[in-house]
Amino acid sequence: MSEKVTLSRREALGVLAGTTGALALGAEGAQAQNAPEKAKLKGRLKQSVCKWCYGNMSLDDLCRNAAEMGILSVELLGPGEWETVKKHGLTCAVANGPSGIGDGWNRPADHDRLVKESERLLPLVKEAGLPNMIVFSGNRRGMSDAEGLENCAKGLKRIMPLAEQLGVTVVMELLNSKRDHRDYQCDRTPWGVELVKRVGSDRFRLLYDIYHMQIMEGDVIATIQENIAFIAHFHTGGVPGRAEIDETQELNYPRIAQAIVDAGFKGYFAHEFIPRRNPMASLRQAVALCDV
């Protein structure tokens, strides 16, 4: 269920990424795929990559390339894909969760369904040795933020005992509601932090998406520094447009990565941009930029 839902979540962007990948994987891409030695990184950030950004590239090919670059994880995958990742000596830092973006934990009518699916998935995540499972607030549809907080906390508390028992962290993603996910409720850091406090478990934290929060809030580095205790995972993406995270966009990712390292962060830092140039060359560049 969660695999299908997650794909539909990013269907339009995935088509774009597939087209880009098909056009761009020329001689340079082939060379990157056949790199003879694994890159030697400082490794102060555990870097990951999101599979959906690479369209029609097979998971096996992406894992092989990622491993050669020194990336440690390929993420946002379902149970049927985890063995492929492991075959390449990688992990899946964030497993697919019980729902897509629009229909999440802010609707009590959905709680029984989400709890049941979470109770199915969490033991599988644990058995596979994966650290995190993703969840979403859902869209507002006229619901106040106060009611959404109350509803999300009530539902998530039902799965926390199992997550705590298994040692799996449930992460809710912060997404922008301005451009990409209009009406999504968990769209600001203070709202997400308050939810973490209300759930009151060491196994519930935020997935801070730098791309989304730059669009919604800006002030990225100070926000991260002030709220690092509430964050278990990061995503990248160039602003504007969610393309490469280099000098073509407005964020200084080496400086952001350094601030995250300096804050003592020990989780994973995942690339979730849609390459507009050679996909593997762009990913390799991103890894080097963030290897601070």
Give DSSP secondary structure letters for 30-85.
Answer: HHHHT-SS------SSEEEEEGGGGTTS-HHHHHHHHHHHT--EEESB-GGGHHHH
Q: What is the domain count for the chain?
A: 1
When pLDDT is cut at 50, 70 and 90, the band that residue 39 belongs to is confident
* 285 belongs to a structural domain: yes
Phi, psi dihedral angles at 291 (to 5 degrees): -85, 75
pLDDT of residue 148: 98
Chain-centre distance for alpha carbon 165: 23
Count, residues in the chain: 292
Instruction: Decide if pLDDT at 3 tops 70.
Output: no
Angle between helix 279-290 and helix 253-262 axes, rounded to 10 deg: 40
In whole angstroms, how large is the CA radius of gyration of the chain?
A: 18
pLDDT single digits (tens) 90-141: 999 999 999 999 999 999 999 999 999 999 999 999 999 999 999 999 999 9
* 199 belongs to a structural domain: yes
CATH of the domain at 106: 3.20.20.150
* 279 belongs to a structural domain: yes
When pLDDT is cut at 50, 70 and 90, the band that residue 13 belongs to is very low
* 37 belongs to a structural domain: no
Whole-angstrom Cα distance, residue 65 to residue 280?
7
Nearest CA to 185 out of 195, 175, 200 is that of: 175
Q: In what order do the strands lie in the sheet with 268-271?
A: 73-75, 46-50, 268-271, 231-236, 204-209, 169-173, 132-135, 94-95
- Assign 124 to helix, strand or coil: helix
Instruction: Decide if pLDDT at 14 tops 90.
Output: no
* 171 belongs to a structural domain: yes
Report residue 155 as tokens: 């539902």
Residue-range definition of the domain harbouring residue 85:
2-32+42-290
pLDDT single digits (tens) 61-97: 999 999 999 999 999 999 999 999 999 999 999 999 9
For residues 23 and 181, the model is more confident at 181
Highest-scoring range by mean pLDDT, 6-10, 23-27, 248-252: 248-252
pLDDT of residue 38: 79
* 248 belongs to a structural domain: yes
Whole-angstrom Cα distance, residue 219 to residue 50?
24
